[in-house]
Amino acid sequence: MATVMTNIEAKEQKKAAAAAAKPVAAAASGSGMKSEGIFNMMSAYLDGGHGKALIPKVDSIFAFQITTKKGAKPSLVYEIDLKNGQGLCKSGKPANADATFTMTDNDFEAVCLGKLNP
């Protein structure tokens, strides 16, 4: 979670620079959900090799099912693999998740910002 917090804080600090790139990211993603931007930041972080030290500590694959409101079917499903290589965050259901978390888009954002205790 500390990694998520670090990425979100960095995003807030660079908000002016991100404003120019936001329309491109929104067009590429298409969902308009806040959590998708957070998953994209996680993916960039892991793709950069920054999560390698987490792999032996976490040793798990997580599935995140994000809904628009409580009780709704998942609109987004993401895999965070902190078991293999340098880590991976990608859209789609993992084949073998060690844990699956289902939450609303707003709750996921609040957890990542440290405003909601998971």
CATH H-level superfamily of 2-112: SCP2 sterol-binding domain (3.30.1050.10)
For each of the chain's 118 residues, which pLDDT tens digit applies? 556 756 666 666 555 444 444 443 443 456 789 999 999 999 999 999 999 999 999 999 999 999 999 999 999 999 999 999 999 999 999 999 999 999 999 999 999 999 998 8
How far is residue 15 from each of residues 19, 21, 39, 69, 98, measured CA to CA in Å? 6, 10, 17, 27, 34
- Distance from C-alpha of 101 to C-alpha of 105, rounded to nearest angstrom: 12
Give residue 85's identity as a one-letter amino acid code: G
Instruction: Give the pTM.
Output: 0.74
* Look-up of token digits 């793709």: 47
Gap between the Cα atoms of 11 and 59, Å rounded: 27
CA–CA gap between residue 83 and residue 57 (Å, rounded): 9
> In this structure, are residues 106 and 34 in contact, taking their beta carbons and an 8 Å threshold?
yes
